[in-house]
Chains A and B, each alone.
Chain A
Amino acid sequence: MDKLTKDNFQKAKNDSVQKKTNWIKVGMSTCGIAAGAREVYDTLTEEVKRRNLNIDILKTGCLGMCYIEPLVEVCIEGVPHVVYGNVDTKAALGIVDKHICGKRVMNDHLVIK
């Protein structure tokens, strides 16, 4: 990793911009992990790999809505950008099947703020 200096600092910021769409974020702080986020993350990774989809699966911190953990945020081109709550492995498979492949939001897990 290159050291940042006074001169290259602003450039580093612009270099590290994240992909605009086609990503999934899983909330993986202690609260999420306790609710089963790790299994959800593993299921999503496997399923995306199995179907050979070009989707990034990212880990993030706590989204704050502990009552409805584990939380998964999905941003796929052409489908509304939403957060799913109470996601278990079954719902995780549903996200890949319905939301990512079927291009349609999945029922009963949506968390709208």
Chain B
Amino acid sequence: MYRKTIFIKDTDSQGLDRTKEFYNKFLENLRSRNLQNDIQVARAADIGIYNQGIVLRVYGEDTIYVQLKETDIDNIISLTIEKNEIISSLQYKKKDKQLRRVLRNCGVINPDCIEDYLANGGYQGLYKVLTSLKPEEVIKELKISGLRGRGGGGFPTWMKWDFALKTESDQKYIICNGDEGDPGAYMDRSVLEGDPHSVIEGMIIAGYTIGASKGYFYIRAEYPLAIERIQNAIDQAYSKGLIGEKILNSGFNFDLSIRLGAGAFVCGEETALIASIEGKRGTPLPRPPYPSVKGLWSKPTVINNVETLANVAYIFIRGAKEFAKLGTETSKGTKVFALTGKVKNSGLIEVPMGTTLREIVFDVGGGVLDNKNIKAVQTGGPSGGVIPAQYLDTPVDYENLSKLGSIMGSGGMIVMDETDCMVDIAKFYLGFCVEESCGKCAPCRIGGSQMLDILTRISKGQAQNHDLETLSRISFAMQKASLCGLGQTAPNPVVSTLKHFLPEYKEHTENKRCPAGKCLDLLSYKIIDEKCKRCGACVRICPVSAISGNREHGYSIDTQKCTKCGQCISVCKFKAISKE
């Protein structure tokens, strides 16, 4: 058995990976002191610290050294390893931004095993609620916690429950909204797959509080594994008596079943979701009345998002005060984000509310891919907006994001670099909403396709400046007059890109140029004769034979034939092909 284990890794992404050389030198030094059977050194694939040169960490200790040179090895071994002395000039303090509450059991317990969940403190919240709290007291606790809906709107959860509790009815319902549809977002899927019982626990607590005896999971059919694991978890909870009749001898009965969504984005909207469960076509209805008063089969219904319900379980297991310790004035607790796009460490992260975007992208996400410059971060999916790089130090909470013209949304966070064109992004998100529009109300149905038409013309260089004004006018009409959230928020990506990146739009309309080099119709490929070494690599790779010429006279691209696939650029070692 080794006395100490040392991890090393070169965290500079520019240039060559020096981990192996450093490792060999380190090992050599250990051998020269005859320590190789005492101390083990290992190369890491990810050491949790980024852009800090060669990093060394000692297993089981807080010691982290960064920016190491080979000349430091001798000192590290003789001081830190042999005498346990810290070399303060090399030391680094890790900023630990992640905090796993909703994801506390994801990757820790076996999701198919209720015993694992119980052993980790699961269903303790339910036990506490059923044995010692009245519904009014549950709502009071929830109010103290300050929990707000994690599905996007950020409506206080306790208020929703309170409306439903105060509405008299012989039958009430709880629905868990697992119809996660934003491009690039998969927080709910991971929670459903990794910790199904925490969501079930939240649902039973909600059912007890508002007096509902029936609950539904609404999960999109594209999540087969989530459905399988939730069904298995429901079966286990039934056989343990945690769902069913007289749960924990309390006299409270609760039944739970799954309904599948057929893939319509609008069914994530609560009134459309209810229609879908009722077996009707998934189109939204005007609100009010809100579902808390008149919902499923016209009965009071509480619809909560997956992450909200997982938070409910946490609140009653660990206490509302503990929950409210984290976060900002108006937004408490943590938020799970699906960090994707041009970021090194894409994945699922959970950070306290109030963490800045910069910390999320650079400390947790490890920075931008290929060390390009960050241009913007998109949050909130098709209903959200883009936040330009100059606002990266904004603490993330519901209010701050809406001030910047975006929304918290369900938690999709897409990092964009300088090669992403904002017109193209706006077109992509709007196109998504146009396809998903149910067509019931005119502002969304007509407004969306008109806007998409204008954006397409902008990206082809066929638009004028006055088209930008038209875009703003249609956006305003859609936001004010659409029936449901889908239409009201569909213009958001356009509005926010227009607000923050107007010069980029104007480059497209006035100069017919795409500065990011994304809009194909505005680009033409050219060989820069001075840089060209006449190797002929581009000629060989071109799939449409658009490049002609020879070694003596140089090469040229036939713009008529060129399909702008970009393969010539990727093979040219001399950067002799321009795209403008």
Q: Which residues of A contact B (CB under 8 A)?
A: 1-7, 9, 12-13, 15-18, 25, 27, 29-31, 33, 58-68, 71, 73, 78, 80, 82, 84-86, 103-113
Contact B248 A59 (CB under 8 A): no
B231 within 8 A of A: no
For chains A and B in complex, what number of residue pairs have CB atoms within 8 angstroms?
Answer: 146
The answer, among B60, B107, B110, B223, for a CB contact under 8 Å with A62, is B107
Q: Is the CB of B2 within 8 A of A1?
A: no
> Of A31, A33, A112, which one neighbours B48 at CB under 8 angstroms?
A112
Asked whether B109 lies within 8 Å of A85 as measured between CB atoms, the reply is no
Stretch in B187-195, B375-383, B400-408 with 4+ CB within 8 Å of A: B187-195
Nearest-CB residue, chain B, relative to A86: B45
Q: Kindly state the separation between the CA atoms of A112 and B241 in the bound complex, as whole angstroms.
A: 40
Contact B45 A29 (CB under 8 A): no
Confirm or deny: B425 has a beta carbon within 8 angstroms of a beta carbon on chain A. Answer: no
Give me 10 A-to-B residue pairs in the complex whose CB atoms sit less than 8 angstroms apart, sorted by A's number.
A16-B116, A29-B193, A62-B193, A64-B349, A66-B348, A67-B345, A84-B45, A85-B46, A104-B2, A108-B43
CB within 8 Å of A: which of B101-147?
Answer: 103, 105-112, 115-116, 118-119, 121, 123-124, 127, 131
CB pair A60–B348 under 8 Å, yes or no, is no
User: Complex formed: what's the CA distance from A80 to B59 in Å?
Assistant: 7
Q: How far is the CB of B107 from chain A (nearest CB, A)?
A: 3
- Determine whether B7 belongs to the interface, using a CB cutoff of 8 Å to chain A: yes
Cβ–Cβ contact B225 & A30, under 8 A: yes
User: What B residues does A67 contact at CB under 8 A?
Assistant: 344-347
Chain B contacts to A: CB under 8 angstroms: 1-2, 5, 7, 23, 40, 42-48, 57, 59-60, 100, 103, 105-112, 115-116, 118-119, 121, 123-124, 127, 131, 186, 189-190, 193-195, 223, 225-226, 236, 239-242, 248-250, 344-350
Given contacts A80-B5, A104-B2, contact A68 B45 (CB under 8 A): yes
A106 near B110 with CB under 8 A, answer no
Q: Say whether B7 contacts A112, CB under 8 Å.
A: yes
- Do residues B240 and A3 form an inter-chain contact, with CB atoms below 8 A? yes
Please, which residue of chain A has its CB at the minimum distance from the CB of B55?
A112
Q: Which residue of A lies closest to B119 (CB)?
A: A16
Q: Are B48 and A60 in contact (CB under 8 A)?
A: no
The answer to whether A68 and B46 touch across the interface, beta carbons within 8 angstroms, is yes
Q: How far is the CB of A105 from chain B (nearest CB, A)?
A: 5
Do the beta carbons of B225 and A110 come within 8 Å of each other?
no
Which residues on the A side are within 8 Å of B225 (C-beta)?
29-30, 33
What distance in Å separates the Cβ of A106 from its nearest Cβ neighbour in chain B? 7
Q: Taking the nearest CB of chain B, how far is it from the CB of A68, in angstroms?
A: 6
Task: Find out whether the CB atom of B346 lies under 8 angstroms from the CB atom of A108.
Answer: no
Q: Is the CB of A107 within 8 A of B48?
A: no
Flag if A16 contacts B118 (CB, 8 Å): yes
Q: Which residues of B contact A29 (CB under 8 A)?
A: 106, 189-190, 193-194, 225
Known: A62-B348, A80-B5, A110-B7. A25 touches B45 (CB 8 A): no
